[in-house]
Chains A and B, each alone.
Chain A
Amino acid sequence: MAEKSPPSLSADEPLEELDAQWYRDTYPDVALSGLSPETHYRLFGRAMGRPGAADQDQRPAPLPASAGQSLSLRAVADCFGQARSPGSNRGHALNQADSPLVTRPDDLLPSAQDHRRDAADHLADAVRLEIWSEDGSIALGRFESVTDARCAAGPLLLYARLLDLPAGALSVQEPDGTKHPLSVPGAGEALPGCAMAGIKRGPARLENGWYSDETTLRFALAGWQAPTEDETGPALLRFWQAPARASANLAPIGGFTLPEAGPGFFDMSLADPLMPVLIELIDRQGHTQGLTLLAFPSLLRGGLHAAERAAHQMGLHPLDEIWRLTDALLAELLDGPHDAGFAIGHLEVDLRRATGAERIFAEPLRDWLHALFGLAPAPASNTPAGADGAGQHYLETLLGEAAPRDAAALTLVLPPDAIPTLSALVSRRLRLPEHCKAATGPYLVADMISSRPLWSVAMPVLEQLVDNETPPCVPILRRVFDTPDAPDRPTTPAPDWLVPLHLALLAPVRLPSNDLIRLAPMVRESTPTQTKGAPPEPLTVVLSATDPALCARALTALVRQEGITLEGVLICPQGQLRQAQADEIRTSLGGIWDGPVWMLPTGTRQEVDLDKVTELAQSDMILMLDEEVILQDTQILKSLSRLLQADDTAASVGGMLLHEGTLKDGSTVVVAASGGLFPEAVSFLTAPRLAVIEPDITTALPDTVYPVIANSFALCLVRRAALLAARAGRPDVSGPTDLWFGLASHAAGWRNLATTQTRAGTTRPLTRRDQIDPFGLSCLAPATWDSLLSSVTVLRELRG
């Protein structure tokens, strides 16, 4: 086959349709490429559909500067770099002489139809890849030979598998019309890598990429470093994307010539913020060197799944991590266990707190879920009808009815501010433990606006949560059918959870620190009454005491609590409490409550004497309370008691403690003081060591129930039976009693729950405990760590 020679690089003879100065001024990447305007236009510009002169320019003209010129807010907006006049990102608005930033010079997105027209002119004489669909064919690339085209087609084949394009949709076409069909690799066949070597290294290496706004990708390139005269060297990157509803209709969304010297920054306006992007690398002769599939652009910084990339990040180079993670996801998605379908077959959204402004309701996300995974979010089956009137009805209609159920598939139930992670969507191995019908699972937390990664929350299986009447704020995995004979997907042997396989990405609304809802997310409405048929729960209180007034305050709030009956109060003097003060405490409490008050001997002991507690307290539930805790709501203990009773394996239940601070301007801020004790690190550096922390869990665990290593004894309900069981094996060591109890009760087969749904205040100065490791091997055997860590919530703060 005789192929037409590409235009010569040195062919700089004048072109009639080209205004070289205008072309160079209008498209900043021309100057950075080191090519003459004539060569650039001949090789790339014309093929990209760029006009050669102003009179051919069909693009919108800039608006007259009538709006936004005399604004007091203009300066603010300018600081954020966005208050630009329409059309100002054409040409050199952001391309100052001393700036390496080159924006994409044209905001318009050509359609597949536009591209067909252009390609008919420019690719008719070339070997090319063709993608066939009902709307016709799309030509992609200019190759020197059929072999070159076949070699480069790997990422396009991946694309075809990913989007489930029909068999025979891809072929290599010669100029004479000869077609060479490309076969898409089937299940079990080796998959090509998503990124070609030329993009990973060399002059065309993409150093970084991120979303500069919701639909604009900004890429950083190192540049050629050492200028070369190699005519086959890379010269241009061109980007292709298709709409989610017509995934075969790939169209070029833009491109830029590689900078001769770096760094260079280029913006690419996406036609869709989530759909896969094909990147074509073109050499200085105008030939396609290869393709790269950016299968999940949302993994890039600023993208919806950026937190997922951060959670999985192992290396330092951001794009290398993207290629690695993409290959791993594609391998599971396209080439997972051959006998298994996707683990998640249904998506549901809990609409009870939904506003419709959450990401999951946005059309691009729903279209993408459908195009790549065949999933359509439906209203959660447990959403009560009409809870929020017309709004909820609208959202139910928007999502539509659930698709017919696949009995073997699992349902992922999402809080409204969550989206499913890619890891969960592609998984073919995820499954519930045998005995579970539904359970909570691990998830990620990101910033609602910027998608900045915040937390990785490894939430272990909690069945009880699912049946709790309070709306769950964490993802839940549910079997579609509860019948015992519902088939399970056959799976290869795997742990119950593929850790860290996050189920969802939450983006909770950021609450200002002075927002009252931090203090009391929910309040009851009507006059509370004792639950009919449920007698008040008897309770013994262990009150840590130093100050008579504080003790009186605490007991005053205690006697107002509903749903409980005080059986006795055990005063634990703390620090150097004098006998006179102890007597004063006893007297002041006598004026508030006439039940039994026991006083432990005063002394220097800082910790609660659990031996004495179990001896004196005969009620099933014991409340550990610090005198500085303010029970501002009269149903706090009732809520905690209900949680403790709902889970007979729970040794304790702790509420969230909030510290109130005052800023210099007198305003009040409320911050989390304690929400339970979490594992922080394990180390064998000098000796086995398990460090425990008390982090700010406001964002990571919004409004939910979760298992912890231990609850702070400042506020928690303890089951007496667990106390007795734990006490039996207590070694003679000193250290925080609450942490010891948590570890010992876990060793005895119990677990400790904490909740951010029930909140109380504390007036103690804000000092969260950090890196506690008080017990060593005498209390904690490394052999038990695996069991401990897999049964408590593990938090990891994300960066990047």
Chain B
Amino acid sequence: MKICCLIKDDAWRKTAGVRIRYDRLMPHLKRQGHALELVAIDAVDPRTPPEADIYLFSKIHDMRSVMLATRLHERGARVGIDVVDDYYSHEGDARFTHLRRWFAMMTPLVDFALCSCPNMAQLLERLIPSTACHILYDPFAALDADHITRTVAVNAARARADKVLRIGWFGIGDNPHFDLGLSDVFAFAHGLSAVRRLGYSPVLEILTNARALTTERLEMLARLPLPWTLEEWSEAGEAELIARSLVCFLPVNAQGFSTVKSLNRCITALTGGAQALSVGFPLYEALSDFVYRDIAALVADLEADKLKLRGETTGQLVQAMVQRGTPRIEAGRLVEFLAERVVAPPAPAPAPGTEPVNAVIHAQNSHSNIHKMAQRMGWLSVAGPYYRKTLHYDVWFPEVPRPGQPVEIRLSPRAWALMGADEAAHAQEAERGANDEPVYALRIAPQRLTALALMPPPPPGTPPPLLSQVARFAGGVAFCHAVLELLFEAPRIHISELCPPFRGPDCLEPPNPARDMASTEGMQDADAARGA
């Protein structure tokens, strides 16, 4: 089986997510006779037939993934998404409007979803009940029982001798949208100082990203109730920190985003030879035999030389990992799950000649790669009335349309060719564009676009960007929608918007019977798969 994992771009290969989730799996899939290949989405030519058996989209939250998934789906390829973080269930949260919209567009096109923990699987069951879901635990890098035994013994003996409890915390200290990371350290550290009453001096060693060190977070650290040190995170540094820490501190808050995270940090700590102390939400409950919830219990075990993770228990840890995180086993389970997807009947492809005009409107914030992908797909790339980038679009407005005024439109030859005959007859060749291709001009009387409340252009120099962009977004999208429906016959219109909180009633996807039908059939397939 050939699995093509699509990522945002080549730089994405170096991220921790890719390193942990895919790189560790590759050799084991290969040994089992399968291949997992990471491919930047822009390197895929949507015009060529699919080569892989499975296409897995990983964190590509823009129209490129929707377009490519549409094409792959039409051609019978099996398509899935890897849902690592929950940006989709926070209904009403203005910060994630674009991501919820992406999720709503993408999920009807996929045959399956992967996630990394049971809590996320439960969430997906609620969000996309008709989509088959598989839990692919983040594989650990290595599990060396001897290393764990030695490390635990050395650190425990040292702690008993010098009465210093070395506590490690590692990871991304911030998130643009949620309070976690260092905020959790601050919120939950009150329990750590309790060891002073038990005869030990605690010290917290923190390893995190430099971006997280804002004034607020440094102020939080300054108020920690125990001594701490700070280093910038690196992969090697993380391994060293775990190796010299008796225990890794893993606080987890109970907000939705945090409760569906993978078990990776706990597994990393344990396989690195540190005890795990997790307070707050019991994210690591599945590993409860090795996870402390109370530092006093850890100290008691330390003094009794009965730490949860020690030489005698490494066998149990290996057993626990069989259920979650052993790369070889995770690879096998993934293949088994995907094999079921491959044998399921594909969704029916549209009959030849019936493919409607597809158009992508670049609303306020889009980017050139989406434009390029749209044109490679044979879709129309349309600059919305307020989108001011200068690329060779198929449909654009040379001036910001004004309420009550005729609307000037420019069209590429491809768009012109797809227009209805009546409208095309009114278009005039106005100039020569890229590659000396003709550019067609069309003027539409305002009366033909009834009841469209289009925001007038702002006065020069005002207003500032964000408020006015948000205010005019819905009107602009609705206006563009109306123009495209006037020019083309029953077009499928998609909105490319990369930023929040741009959302309005007029930018929702129009009903799409074909897609809805496909979605229904997908649901039946998923039900059949579950039954199997």
Could you list which residues of chain A lie within 8 angstroms of chain B, going by C-beta atoms? 58-61, 63, 66-68, 71-74, 76-77, 80-89, 107-109, 111, 211, 213-216, 243, 269, 271, 273, 302, 354-358, 362-364, 388-392, 394-395, 449-450, 509-510, 516-517, 519-525, 527-528, 547, 549-550, 552-553, 556-557, 559-560, 562, 588, 591-592, 628, 630-632, 634, 658, 660-662, 668, 670, 761, 763
Query: Are B95 and A552 in contact, with the CB atoms below 8 A?
Result: no
Q: How many residues of B are in contact with the other chain, CB < 8 A?
A: 86
- Partner of B225 from the list A215, A355, A521, A670 (CB cut-off 8 Å) is A215
Query: Are B231 and A660 in contact, with the CB atoms below 8 A?
Result: no
Output the least CB separation between B468 and chain A (Å).
6
Query: Are B230 and A523 in contact, with the CB atoms below 8 A?
Result: no
Query: Are A523 and B94 in contact, with the CB atoms below 8 A?
Result: yes
Query: Are B505 and A634 in contact, with the CB atoms below 8 A?
Result: yes
Output the least CB separation between B21 and chain A (Å).
22
- Cβ contacts B86-125/A at 8 Å (1 or 0 each): 0000011111010010000000000000000001001100
Stretch of B140-148, B253-261, B298-306, B413-421 that contacts chain A: B253-261
Q: Is the interface of A mostly helix, strand, loop or mixed?
A: loop
- Cβ contacts B475-491/A at 8 Å (1 or 0 each): 10000000000000000
In the assembled complex, the Cα of A509 lies from the Cα of B177 at a distance in Å of: 12
Query: Are A549 and B254 in contact, with the CB atoms below 8 A?
Result: no
A-B contact pairs, 13 of them (CB 8 A): A63-B164, A67-B241, A68-B231, A71-B231, A76-B213, A77-B229, A269-B193, A302-B223, A357-B254, A388-B254, A516-B95, A660-B466, A763-B464
Query: Are B254 and A356 in contact, with the CB atoms below 8 A?
Result: yes
In the assembled complex, the Cα of A74 lies from the Cα of B463 at a distance in Å of: 43
Enumerate B204-260 residues with CB–CB distance to A below 8 Å: 205, 210, 213, 216, 218-225, 227-232, 241, 244, 253-256, 258-259
The chain A residue with its CB closest to the CB of B208 is: A73
The chain B residue with its CB closest to the CB of A658 is: B467
Q: List the B side residues contacting A88 at CB < 8 Å.
A: 227
Q: List the A side residues contacting B196 at CB < 8 Å.
A: 107-109, 269
Query: Are A271 and B197 in contact, with the CB atoms below 8 A?
Result: yes
- Partner of A392 from the list B184, B197, B254 (CB cut-off 8 Å) is B254
Query: Are A394 and B224 in contact, with the CB atoms below 8 A?
Result: no
Query: Are A520 and B453 in contact, with the CB atoms below 8 A?
Result: no
Query: Are A557 and B230 in contact, with the CB atoms below 8 A?
Result: no
In the assembled complex, the Cα of A525 lies from the Cα of B90 at a distance in Å of: 10
In the assembled complex, the Cα of A58 lies from the Cα of B504 at a distance in Å of: 68
Query: Are B216 and A510 in contact, with the CB atoms below 8 A?
Result: yes
Query: Are B464 and A63 in contact, with the CB atoms below 8 A?
Result: no
Q: List the B side residues contacting A111 at CB < 8 Å.
A: 197
- Partner of A660 from the list B202, B403, B467 (CB cut-off 8 Å) is B467
Enumerate B503-523 residues with CB–CB distance to A below 8 Å: 503-505, 508
Tell yes or no: B390 within 8 A of A by CB: no
In the assembled complex, the Cα of A58 lies from the Cα of B163 at a distance in Å of: 9
Q: List the B side residues contacting A66 at CB < 8 Å.
A: 244
In the assembled complex, the Cα of A88 lies from the Cα of B471 at a distance in Å of: 56
Output the least CB separation between B213 and chain A (Å).
6
In the assembled complex, the Cα of A669 lies from the Cα of B447 at a distance in Å of: 39
Output the least CB separation between B523 and chain A (Å).
20
Tell yes or no: B45 within 8 A of A by CB: no
In the assembled complex, the Cα of A173 lies from the Cα of B188 at a distance in Å of: 42
Query: Are B221 and A80 in contact, with the CB atoms below 8 A?
Result: yes
Tell yes or no: B200 within 8 A of A by CB: yes
In the assembled complex, the Cα of A84 lies from the Cα of B259 at a distance in Å of: 33
Query: Are B225 and A213 in contact, with the CB atoms below 8 A?
Result: yes
Output the least CB separation between A107 and chain B (Å).
5
Output the least CB separation between A425 and chain B (Å).
20
- Partner of A560 from the list B220, B221, B404, B474 (CB cut-off 8 Å) is B474
Query: Are B213 and A73 in contact, with the CB atoms below 8 A?
Result: yes
Tell yes or no: B470 within 8 A of A by CB: yes
Tell yes or no: B190 within 8 A of A by CB: yes
In the assembled complex, the Cα of A88 lies from the Cα of B458 at a distance in Å of: 61
Decide: A391 near B255, CB < 8 A? Known: A63-B203, A355-B179: yes
Tell yes or no: B318 within 8 A of A by CB: no
Decide: A560 near B453, CB < 8 A? Known: A77-B229, A82-B222, A388-B256: yes
In the assembled complex, the Cα of A243 lies from the Cα of B296 at a distance in Å of: 14
Q: List the B side residues contacting A355 at CB < 8 Å.
A: 179, 253-255, 258
Q: List the A side residues contacting B188 at CB < 8 Å.
A: 357, 362
Decide: A761 near B403, CB < 8 A? Known: A271-B197, A520-B501: no
- Partner of A632 from the list B123, B126, B220, B470 (CB cut-off 8 Å) is B470
- Partner of A592 from the list B179, B222, B453, B503 (CB cut-off 8 Å) is B453
Query: Are A556 and B454 in contact, with the CB atoms below 8 A?
Result: yes
Q: List the B side residues contacting A213 at CB < 8 Å.
A: 222-225
Q: List the B side residues contacting A523 at CB < 8 Å.
A: 92-94, 97, 501, 503
Tell yes or no: B191 within 8 A of A by CB: yes
In the assembled complex, the Cα of A80 lies from the Cα of B282 at a distance in Å of: 32
Query: Are B166 and A63 in contact, with the CB atoms below 8 A?
Result: yes
Query: Are A668 and B464 in contact, with the CB atoms below 8 A?
Result: yes
Query: Are B190 and A59 in contact, with the CB atoms below 8 A?
Result: no
Considering residues B93, B126, B184, B193, which has the most beta carbons from chain A within 10 angstroms of its beta carbon? B193
- Partner of B256 from the list A77, A273, A389 (CB cut-off 8 Å) is A389
Output the least CB separation between A442 and chain B (Å).
27
- Partner of B456 from the list A77, A527, A553 (CB cut-off 8 Å) is A553
In the assembled complex, the Cα of A61 lies from the Cα of B162 at a distance in Å of: 6
In the assembled complex, the Cα of A358 lies from the Cα of B95 at a distance in Å of: 22
The chain A residue with its CB closest to the CB of B89 is: A389
Tell yes or no: B129 within 8 A of A by CB: no
Query: Are A668 and B465 in contact, with the CB atoms below 8 A?
Result: yes
Decide: A82 near B221, CB < 8 A? Known: A59-B163, A355-B255, A549-B459: yes
Q: List the A side residues contacting B259 at CB < 8 Å.
A: 389-391, 394
Q: List the A side residues contacting B199 at CB < 8 Å.
A: 108
Decide: A357 near B231, CB < 8 A? Known: A60-B201, A523-B97, A660-B463: no
Considering residues A73, A81, A269, A395, which has the most beta carbons from chain B within 10 angstroms of its beta carbon? A73
Output the least CB separation between A8 and chain B (Å).
35
Q: List the A side residues contacting B466 at CB < 8 Å.
A: 516, 519, 660, 668, 670
Query: Are A357 and B455 in contact, with the CB atoms below 8 A?
Result: no
Considering residues B210, B220, B225, B228, which has the most beta carbons from chain A within 10 angstroms of its beta carbon? B225
Query: Are B223 and A662 in contact, with the CB atoms below 8 A?
Result: no
Query: Are B459 and A632 in contact, with the CB atoms below 8 A?
Result: no
Decide: A68 near B467, CB < 8 A? Known: A59-B163, A392-B254, A517-B95: no
Q: List the A side residues contacting B503 at CB < 8 Å.
A: 523
Considering residues A108, A354, A356, A670, which has the most beta carbons from chain B within 10 angstroms of its beta carbon? A356
Considering residues A77, A89, A354, A670, which has the most beta carbons from chain B within 10 angstroms of its beta carbon? A77
In the assembled complex, the Cα of A560 lies from the Cα of B500 at a distance in Å of: 20
In the assembled complex, the Cα of A632 lies from the Cα of B404 at a distance in Å of: 21
Q: List the B side residues contacting A449 at CB < 8 Å.
A: 186, 216, 219-220, 223
Beyond contacts A83-B230, A391-B256, A520-B501: 12 other A-B pairs, Cβ-Cβ < 8 A, are: A60-B201, A68-B229, A73-B210, A82-B222, A214-B225, A271-B197, A354-B254, A362-B187, A390-B122, A516-B500, A552-B403, A591-B403
In the assembled complex, the Cα of A85 lies from the Cα of B503 at a distance in Å of: 51
Output the least CB separation between A439 and chain B (Å).
26
Query: Are B122 and A81 in contact, with the CB atoms below 8 A?
Result: no
In the assembled complex, the Cα of A214 lies from the Cα of B194 at a distance in Å of: 13
Q: List the B side residues contacting A631 at CB < 8 Å.
A: 471
In the assembled complex, the Cα of A243 lies from the Cα of B123 at a distance in Å of: 40
Considering residues A66, A560, A662, which has the most beta carbons from chain B within 10 angstroms of its beta carbon? A560
Query: Are A520 and B403 in contact, with the CB atoms below 8 A?
Result: no
Query: Are B471 and A630 in contact, with the CB atoms below 8 A?
Result: yes
Tell yes or no: B280 within 8 A of A by CB: yes
The chain B residue with its CB closest to the CB of A631 is: B471
Tell yes or no: B189 within 8 A of A by CB: yes
In the assembled complex, the Cα of A443 lies from the Cα of B219 at a distance in Å of: 25
Tell yes or no: B48 within 8 A of A by CB: no
Q: List the A side residues contacting B183 at CB < 8 Å.
A: 357
Tell yes or no: B354 within 8 A of A by CB: no
The chain B residue with its CB closest to the CB of A302 is: B223
Query: Are B203 and A86 in contact, with the CB atoms below 8 A?
Result: yes
Query: Are B230 and A68 in contact, with the CB atoms below 8 A?
Result: yes
